[in-house]
Homo-oligomer: A and B are copies of this chain.
Amino acid sequence: MRKYTITVNQKNRETQHLSATHGQNLLRVLADAGLSLPSPCGGKGLCGKCKVKVVSSAQTGASQCVTEESFLDEQQIKAGYRLACQVTVTQDLMVDLSSLQPGAAQIMVAGEHEVPLHPLIRKEVLSLPKPSPDLPVSDVERVETALGLPGSIPPALFTQLSSLLRKGDRTLSAVLAGDEVLSIEEKGQPEIYGMAVDLGTTTIVGYLIELVTGKLIDTYAMLNPQKNYGADVISRVNYTIENEDGLATLTALVRNGINEMIRYFCRKNPGMARRIFDLTLVGNTIMIHLFAGLDVKNMAVSPYTPVVARSFQLNPSQTGIEMHPNGKIRILPMIAGFVGADSVAAILACGMGKKTELSLLIDIGTNGEIAIGNSERILTCSTAAGPAFEGANLSHGMGGIEGAINRIWVDQDLEYSTIGNKPPKGICGSAVIDLVAEMLRVGLLEPSGRMKSPAEIEDEEIPSLLKKRLHEVEGQPALFITGKSHGAPEDIYFTQKDVREVQLAKAAIAAGTRILLQEMGVTVEQISHLYLAGGFGNYIDYDSAIKIGLLPKALRKKIVPIGNGAGVGAKMALLSQEYYALAERIQKQTEYLELSTRTDFQDLFLDALELSFQ
């Protein structure tokens, strides 16, 4: 296994030299050496707190990924700052921890766009005219006139407003959502905050942002408290069908989760919760329904009808969310039962809806959501890729956690790296793609997906060390990555059946991509950017993905990983009314293709089973 040296400089401390293997994560290398950087998001690239200055030159993937750009300003980028959690070690590195500036000014950059700060919620200072007996005017109209907004104050604020006026102070401040007053207060009240939340099936991530400055105050990532009721959305839907109070249970869990997040954000000052006036929420369609307490059972059967897809607002009192009682909970629009507000947010984040050139967006999970389009027209679909790229349903697959084999390459023999440089426990998605690509390259695998048998390869030009790894397990060929024969306690291998799983997943994504191109009437060459959302975009080897035909070769130079596009999009909608409106426009102009009923999709799918891009 290739080894590299990480040289670490710190203020007032001796330079340290750490050892790392190929493919290790820099944050973990530092943590293992006792140099723990703050990482409340758990190394997901969500909190921006693990900044380091990387002195040596070009990294794998050359530049910072978009995830990082959200947390680094131009100067920092030029100076070599990175988020340690986003850095994969592929060479010797020199890291400087001495010049970190915690809490430095941040410019919110999302996708390729700077977001102009124009949140729904704003604060205005009012100077009231003195009341006069000659021009009698009611308390409410006096304030509304000063605001220039007749009819803007809801009756629930009348009493509070009247008491404030009686104190005689003629300077007040108002918190408004558009033209509606949410609070009338004495001047000098504290900051106003908003939250952007991405309700994932597995993880809920929230961002606390001060709305006057747009400054990101805090980030929190937590496991979705519904996880004990099913790992995926379909099992949660089933839970609501099988249990009379199932929907209420799941709704309460996710709402409590958000309240837990608010309590975390306000841990030093619980009163701050009442200064949160806006919560923009994204998530897949089923998670949004579960949050809103809406029936999900129709999304389990064709035609997978959601109760609602357009954007809508809920009140804190309707949901029990412990923010300002007059605050807004704004749910971004969804496209269909399996293309949710998280996809709309990712489309927002990548800028597809604003460009004249065509972009392609791929978000790969158990469902692969794919979108193609520009400011004129967007097409989207969801394909049941299955969990092979998440490392599930394979002989020795696993998620991308410690001990997972995350990179595989073949030189004279098969080599690999593991997450955390721990003894290997299984293979995660990025290594699965590497492995299939390498098997194709060296000739262990035919493009049809047929693995050769040990007998067939005897005379072929394949490194002999590799040949020794091919055996038969239960009557089918299996390539041993490690195992007892290599001194490991457990065998880890990859079988013909595993290849078939990868083929199905790959074919679903590739055929989905193909049908969108076809429906749009364009060729792959006409695409200007291929945006990859999620961890997938950050962790896979693009060349391997292209080799197996998962991504189009023509777009190799056009790949842009956008990190947690859903979270970025939610922040953009929180910070800018224009982006919120754009999300609504995206929903209206997006056409959803239901693939399950299309025979042309079946044909494309069968073609795409071939392990090369069509």
Inter-chain contact B294/A133, CB cutoff 8 Å: no
Interface hit among A17-25, A299-307, A524-532, A573-581: A299-307
Inter-chain contact A318/B155, CB cutoff 8 Å: yes
Inter-chain contact B307/A136, CB cutoff 8 Å: no
C-alpha gap A156/B597 in the complex (Å): 33
Inter-chain contact B313/A151, CB cutoff 8 Å: no
Beyond A162-B298, A303-B133, whether A310 also contacts B594 by CB under 8 A is: no
Q: Give chain B nearest CB distance to A411 CB in angstroms.
A: 50
Partner of A133, one of B131, B134, B156, B302: B302
Interface hit among A137-145, A478-486, A544-552: A137-145
Q: Which residues of B contact A292 (CB under 8 A)?
A: 155, 158
Inter-chain contact B162/A294, CB cutoff 8 Å: yes
Inter-chain contact B337/A139, CB cutoff 8 Å: no
Q: Which of A545-562 contact B (CB under 8 A)?
A: none
Q: A150 on the interface (CB 8 Å rule)? A: yes
Beyond A155-B318, A293-B159, whether A140 also contacts B307 by CB under 8 A is: yes
Q: A592 on the interface (CB 8 Å rule)? A: yes
Q: A392 on the interface (CB 8 Å rule)? A: no
Q: Which residues of B contact A134 (CB under 8 A)?
A: 594, 597
Number of chain copies forming the complex: 2
Q: Which residues of B contact A294 (CB under 8 A)?
A: 158-159, 162
Q: A57 on the interface (CB 8 Å rule)? A: no
Inter-chain contact A310/B597, CB cutoff 8 Å: no
Inter-chain contact A138/B306, CB cutoff 8 Å: yes
Beyond A155-B312, A318-B155, A318-B156, whether A307 also contacts B597 by CB under 8 A is: no
Q: A336 on the interface (CB 8 Å rule)? A: yes
Q: A166 on the interface (CB 8 Å rule)? A: yes
Chain B: CB-nearest residue to A156: B318
Q: Give chain B nearest CB distance to A143 CB in angstroms.
A: 10
Q: Which residues of B contact A144 (CB under 8 A)?
A: 310
Q: Which residues of B contact A304 (CB under 8 A)?
A: 136
Q: A309 on the interface (CB 8 Å rule)? A: yes
Q: A295 on the interface (CB 8 Å rule)? A: yes
Beyond A139-B308, A298-B166, whether A313 also contacts B132 by CB under 8 A is: no
C-alpha gap A248/B611 in the complex (Å): 75
Q: Give chain B nearest CB distance to A433 CB in angstroms.
A: 32
C-alpha gap A385/B302 in the complex (Å): 74
Partner of A305, one of B131, B295, B312: B131
C-alpha gap A306/B159 in the complex (Å): 11
Q: A163 on the interface (CB 8 Å rule)? A: yes
Chain B: CB-nearest residue to A337: B136
Q: A217 on the interface (CB 8 Å rule)? A: no
Inter-chain contact B298/A132, CB cutoff 8 Å: no
Chain B: CB-nearest residue to A302: B133
Q: A522 on the interface (CB 8 Å rule)? A: no
Partner of A136, one of B151, B155, B594: B594
Q: Which residues of B contact A158 (CB under 8 A)?
A: 292, 294, 307-308
Q: Which residues of B contact A141 (CB under 8 A)?
A: 308-310
Q: Which of A102-145 contact B (CB under 8 A)?
A: 131-134, 136-141, 144
Chain B: CB-nearest residue to A588: B150
Q: Give chain B nearest CB distance to A532 CB in angstroms.
A: 26
Q: A314 on the interface (CB 8 Å rule)? A: yes
Chain B: CB-nearest residue to A133: B303
Partner of A295, one of B133, B162, B336: B162
C-alpha gap A134/B336 in the complex (Å): 12
Q: Give chain B nearest CB distance to A299 CB in angstroms.
A: 10
Q: Which of A151-190 contact B (CB under 8 A)?
A: 151, 155-156, 158-159, 161-163, 166
Inter-chain contact B293/A140, CB cutoff 8 Å: no
Inter-chain contact B305/A136, CB cutoff 8 Å: yes
Q: Which residues of B contact A309 (CB under 8 A)?
A: 137-138, 140-141
C-alpha gap A137/B298 in the complex (Å): 12
Chain B: CB-nearest residue to A132: B303
Inter-chain contact B318/A139, CB cutoff 8 Å: no
Give the interface centre of A132, A162, A302 by most chain B CB atoms within 10 Å. Answer: A162
Q: Which residues of B contact A594 (CB under 8 A)?
A: 133-134, 136
C-alpha gap A362/B162 in the complex (Å): 32
Inter-chain contact A151/B308, CB cutoff 8 Å: no
Q: Which residues of B contact A136 (CB under 8 A)?
A: 303-305, 336-337, 592, 594
C-alpha gap A158/B308 in the complex (Å): 8
Q: Which residues of B contact A308 (CB under 8 A)?
A: 138-141, 155, 158
Scan A281-300; emit 1 where CB is below 8 A from any B CB, else 0: 00000000000111100100
Give the interface centre of A138, A158, A161 by most chain B CB atoms within 10 Å. Answer: A138
Inter-chain contact B133/A310, CB cutoff 8 Å: no
Partner of A310, one of B140, B307, B310: B140
Chain B: CB-nearest residue to A304: B136
Beyond A151-B310, A310-B151, whether A159 also contacts B302 by CB under 8 A is: no
Q: Which residues of B contact A162 (CB under 8 A)?
A: 294-295, 298, 307
Q: Which residues of B contact A161 (CB under 8 A)?
A: 307
Extra A-B contacts (7), CB below 8 Å, given A134-B597, A138-B307, A138-B334? A131-B303, A133-B597, A136-B304, A140-B309, A155-B292, A158-B292, A159-B307
26 residue pairs from A and B, CB less than 8 Å apart: A131-B305, A132-B303, A133-B302, A133-B594, A133-B597, A134-B597, A136-B304, A136-B305, A136-B592, A138-B306, A138-B310, A139-B305, A139-B308, A140-B309, A141-B309, A155-B292, A155-B312, A155-B318, A158-B294, A158-B307, A158-B308, A159-B294, A159-B307, A161-B307, A162-B295, A162-B298
**Top-7 shortest CB links A-B:** A138-B309, A133-B303, A140-B308, A162-B307, A138-B306, A139-B307, A138-B308
